[in-house]
Structure 1
Amino acid sequence: MSESILVVNAGSSSIKFQLFNVCSADKLERRLKGQIEGIGVHPRFVAAEEGQPKIEEKWRAAEVGNVPAALDKLVTFLRAKLGTLPTAVGHRVVHGGPDYGEPTIVDDAVLKRLEAFSPLAPLHQPNNLAPIRAVRETQPNLVQVACFDTAFHRGHPDLADRYALPETLYAEGVRRYGFHGLSYEYIASRLPDVAAEIAGGRVVVAHLGSGASMCAMSAGKSVECTLGFTALDGLPMGTRPGQLDPGVVLYLMSEKGMGAEEIQRFLYNECGLKGLSGISNDVRELLASSSPRAKFALEYFAYRIGLYAGMLAAAMGGIDGFVFTAGVGENAPAIRDAVARRLTWLGLDFDHTANKSGGARISQKGSRLACYVIPTDEELMIARHTLRVLRTHGSAALEEKLA
């Protein structure tokens, strides 16, 4: 019987999924991708298979009112499509905390420990764990592997990972973790093929999407990241402010009378590009808008990316390459252009024609700083990790772990 890996990336009202066949020599072939969106409101299933018509289905809100119900629909679909369940399921889990630096088979003890990190990523962690819990209840023998966005950054030295706080807090796990690690790990794996001249050098990767961060990589290893203890630090994002003086939080408490939950909702949902523009958190809408506030929000975004490029270059003692990736980084030439204007002092001779035409390399030949656009593929990275865990542990060890 052929093996397959299901990759799940769950949000509060959607489940994105991809199915990979395991071919000879453990090569992964993407067979199917899709999502269930509008969970609890207007549930809609969309899936696409290479060379086949798109599959679409809609349900009443009461039929798919939560993530577990949506997962049941997905399992039913996969059973009909494959004739069986996948060999294993790989999940994106945003926060591995201080305990998990490698992809991990999930049992009840692991799940309980991961739930404890939910306050550190309240928009993501509970939603990432919901389908894991649902599968354990309905298919307890199906192997599930948690793949962490924090894992790629675990090799940082203490100088990069510590806050200037008492040792007792560090011992409790209050430290810099960094995120978007699955994306950065994939880019690191692609550099030798796409940009061989910088693959072994000092590279800053900008993962720019609704969530945004930047990573300094030396010889393909993470050295520093703009995100820290939670997903609120660093760059401004769609609805999150990025770097913020802690005194602002104290001000919101003392002068505005806001409690912890209210501040959390505010910082995660009302700030960033949405707060600056007063219009939207969607870069596409802001680029299309003539509003001065929309233009300011995008200029601010580019300005902060430029600032952090300098910081990350300093962390590596120099810079050889700069890479744009993720939704905004891959698809918004105007944003890349605005950032590029702030990188000339680092040696970037920008190729405006290649930038507009969608070229992979968007710096001029001979530019001291090489600049690229490389599409990310977190799902493939998760599938690779899941398959590696299967092969490393073997069926006997997996059965013992599940028991």
Structure 2
Amino acid sequence: MIVIGGGIIGLAVAAELSTRGSAVTVLEKENRWAAHQTGHNSGVVHAGLYYKPGSFKARMSVEGNRSIVRFAKDNGVAVDVCGKLVVATSESELPALGVLAERAEANGVPARLIGKEEAREYEPEVSCVRALRVESTGVIDFPGVCSALVSRLTEAGASLRLGTPALGIRTGANGGVEVATGSEVLKADVLVNCAGLHSDRVARLAGLTPRARIVPFRGEYFELKPHRRHLVRGLIYPVPDPTLPFLGVHLTRMLDGSVHAGPNAVLALRREGYRWRDVSASDLAEVALFPGTWRLAGKYAFPVGYEEIRRSLSVSRFAASLRRLVPAVGDDDIVRHGSGVRAQAMSPDGSLVDDFLIETAPRQVHVLNAPSPAATSALEIAKYVAGAVTTVR
């Protein structure tokens, strides 16, 4: 088996295939593992309350929460199941909070509605009229999980190749798959594409026409200054707007005691564009020529997209969004921390693919949409993909 992509999904898939007896080669174009989405995410182990009951995300995140925490504990990876609050800051948000509570129950997520007094027992500085307490949410060292997976793969004799991009893919003479890396042509029975931000490009390289296109969204983070970290004890989330695809800016106490705030969501100007100055003319042209981009812009550019850009450029606006949750956060209490880029799959009609998207072809499996909570669900996605491999051989 050849697995393209050395993030948490690719490594988890490779480890699962190896456990099932396959000889595995992992190709990663960067010179380190977990270089992009896995190494730049929030570090949150999600519980699974946001997702439509019965969806891949709902099923895999609830079970994935258990399996990734168990894996971390078994392999000495740092993890803290600290729970979180989803807070309604006004009466108008109570119906949506109630829907979340119902969804949590339908998905088997341990959660309960609490009043503002009890919410302040968990988070003394929080502002809310009511909250949903979610016990199984936590924080974890996802790159550490990847390191543990790499160790397992190394012990199993897998071929792990950093700095090795897949440049060409074709069907082999014997019916298998051949992958050109620039220095050699590798042969395998099955190809598994876990290339994240480039998953649609790898699919096209392999001869597929994927149902969705990856459009990159950058999420920017701030951090509370050390002397203000006491304002947040755990995780504080807003009630998400059900008409929008992202969860909204939230506060997270990390494993090292620092408190991160974010992310917002703005269009990235290249597939791996972690800053405004990271621009790729070819990536921008690809986004601009995709009809779904303009249809999405028609829905969200004003006022949502416009406000996200303003918040990206203004510390005071970012701080103001945090004050909805914790009023004591001042403009001078936060500093920029970094950002991540979300590989969001988009359909030609402009709709964002809401669930995990996995497509197959003879001798090929392609993971084409695996945004949050994919890291939480990585071990469960790996089991599903390994099952799919048996059907395409």
TM-score, structure 2 normalization: 0.27
In terms of fraction of residues, the more helix-rich structure is: 1
TM-score, structure 1 normalization: 0.27
Q: Higher relative contact order at CA 8 Å, sep ≥6: structure 1 or structure 2?
A: 2
